Amino acid sequence: MKSDKLKFLLFAVVVLAIPLFIPKGYLTNVLIFVGINSMLALGLNLLLGYAGQISLGQAAFFGLGAYGSGVLNTQYVINPWLAMALVAVGVAAFAFAIGFPVLRLKGHYLAMATLGVGVIAYISFNETVDLTGGPSGLSGIENLSIGSFVFDSDIKNYYLVWSFALVSILLAMNMVNSRFGRGLRAIHDSEVAARVMGVNARLMKVQVFALSAFISAIAGSLYCHVMTFISPTSFSFPVSIELLTMVVIGGLGSVFGSVLGALLLTLLPEMLRAFQDMDIIVYGLLLISMTIYLPGGLVRGIPALFRKIVPARGSHA
């Protein structure tokens, strides 16, 4: 318990200090999106890594959050912070409602159903042109502000997004170590066994589904206010897949794994830029080889690799 708190504090200090040490400019901008992706990956990881329930439609909640805030901001007079809260609660309630039938399904059927939810949401963003602007997108969204302080620069947005990300991480860590978190892991291992032990598996699965939708919706609201423009393609099926990849590569069932996965996958296109058109191939190869050789994700894989290398050296000496 105590070491977890320490870890979090250390991480928070690093996050808050990073802008002081990196060159001003573009990198800060990318790190904003790392923050948003971290929240999304974390939301999915709660569902996938802890409760063992797959979702291929996570982009739907992200998009609902973004469009909810975006539409309220551009077409109605309502405080954007209040809007963010209302939208997040609304999206969570929606997830809660569809969670009951959806999470009754298992394995590939669950994957298919969540994928279906994602596709339907994506089509709705495209087709409700009067509200969302349709495929042309929604522009003119304002930056968030507190009084006269407007979050209009990269550095301000960095701290804005990462404060939310840090709070989500803290919440997730507390939840994982609570009675609720232990119940979830029991479901992950064997739902039937968990039920026998008196865990209300069905309700808990739906609750964690709603929680993950809640975090994703907040990330969506932040995204729309940072970008000030949104279009449906940012919430399509490939985005759900990318989130899934972040969680798996970072480390299932690890809070910091989500962050690491988000960091790697957001920076990856940058690192692969040297390969030009080859980047898609390298991306595919990475996915395959990491799943085969680092099944626990980076968070567990890297320490394991160290352990493998270090004693090996020792034995040769």
Partner 1 sequence: MEFLKETMQFVISGLATGAIYALIGLSFAIIYNSTGIINFAQGEFVMLGGVITIFCITAFKLPILIAVAVAILGTTAVGVVFERLAIRPLKNATPLALIIITIGASILIRGLVMLLWGKDTQALPAFSGNDPIEVAGATMLPQHIWIFGVTLLVIAGNRFFFHHTITGKAMRACSFNRKAANLVGISVGRMVLLSFGISAALGSLAGVIIAPLTMTAYDVGVMLGLKGFCAAIMGGMGSGLGTVLGGLILGTLESLGAGWISSGYKDAIAFLILLLILFIRPQGLFKKGETERV
Partner 2 sequence: MKKLITVALVSFFVFCMASAAMAAAPIKIGALFSVTGPASFLGEPERNTAQMVVDEINRVGGIKGRKIELIAYDTGGDSTKAVQLANKLIKNDQVVAIIGPSTSGETMAVIPVVEKAQVPLISCAAAIKITEPVKPWVFKTAQNDSLAVARIYEQLKKERRTKIALLTVSDGFGASGREQLKAQASRYGIQIVADDTYGPKDTDMTAQLTKIRGVHPQAIICWGTNPGPAVIARNAKQLGINIPLYMSHGVSSKKFIELAGDAAEGIRLPTGKVLVADLLPKNDKQKKSLQSFIKDYQHHYRTEGDHFGGHAWDAVMLLRYAIERGGDNPAAIRKQLEATRNFAGIGGVFNYAARDHAGLTKDAFVLVEVKKKNWTLVK
Cα dihedral 37, 69, 55, 248, rounded to 10, equals 0
Asked if 104 touches partner 1 (CB under 8 A), the answer is yes
Helix, strand or coil, per DSSP, at residue 231: coil
- Least distance to partner 1, CB of residue 53, Å: 10
Q: Does 150 bind partner 1 (CB under 8 A)?
A: no
Among 44, 252, 259, 299, binds partner 1 (CB under 8 A): 252
Q: Least distance to partner 2 from the beta carbon of 169, Å?
A: 13
Residues 6+ apart with CB under 8 A from 176: 50, 255
273 is a contact residue toward partner 2 (CB under 8 A): yes
Binding-site member from 89, 97, 281, 309 for partner 1 (CB under 8 A): 281
Tokens for 179? 């009675």
Q: Does 105 bind partner 2 (CB under 8 A)?
A: no
Min separation Cβ 231 and partner 2, Å: 4
For the CA atoms of 147, 149, 151, 155, the dihedral, rounded to the nearest 10 degrees, stands at -150
Which of 145, 163, 174, 228 forms a contact with partner 2 (CB under 8 A)?
Answer: 228
**How far is C-alpha 133 from the chain's CA centre?**
25
Alpha helices in the chain (DSSP H): 2-21, 26-45, 58-75, 80-102, 107-127, 129-132, 154-176, 179-189, 191-196, 201-227, 237-250, 255-272, 279-293, 298-316
130 contributes a contact to partner 1 by CB under 8 A: no
Instruction: Give yes or no for residue 134 binding partner 2 (CB under 8 A).
Output: yes
* Total interface residues for partner 2 by CB under 8 A: 49
> What tokens appear for 20 in the block?
């002081």
Instruction: Give the per-residue contact string, 27-56, with partner 2 (x = CB under 8 A; - = no).
Output: x-xx--x-----------------------
Q: Report yes or no: 32 and 161 within 8 Å, Cβ to Cβ.
A: yes
What is the residue-wise DSSP string for 31-99? HHHHHHHHHHHHHHHIIIIIS----S-HHHHHHHHHHHHHHHHHHS---HHHHHHHHHHHHHHHHHHHH
Task: List C-alpha distances in Å: 95 to 25, 102, 296.
Answer: 37, 10, 28
19 binding partner 2? (CB under 8 A): no
Nearest one of 168, 184, 155 to 258, comparing CA atoms: 168
Q: Which does 11 bind (CB under 5 to 8 A by kind): partner 1, partner 2, none?
A: partner 2
Quick check: 277 binds partner 1 (CB under 8 A)?
Answer: yes
In the list partner 2, partner 1, none, the entry touching 93 (Cβ below 5 to 8 angstroms by class) is: none
Provide the binding-site residues for partner 1, judged by CB under 8 A: 48, 54, 101-102, 104-109, 111-113, 115-117, 119-120, 123-124, 126-127, 190, 192-193, 237, 241, 244-245, 248, 252, 277-278, 280-281, 283-288, 291-292, 295
Residues that bind partner 2 (CB under 8 A): 7, 10-11, 14, 18, 22-27, 29-30, 33, 126-127, 129, 134-137, 139, 152, 154, 227-231, 233-234, 256, 260, 263-264, 267, 269-271, 273-274, 276-277, 280, 298-299, 302-303, 306
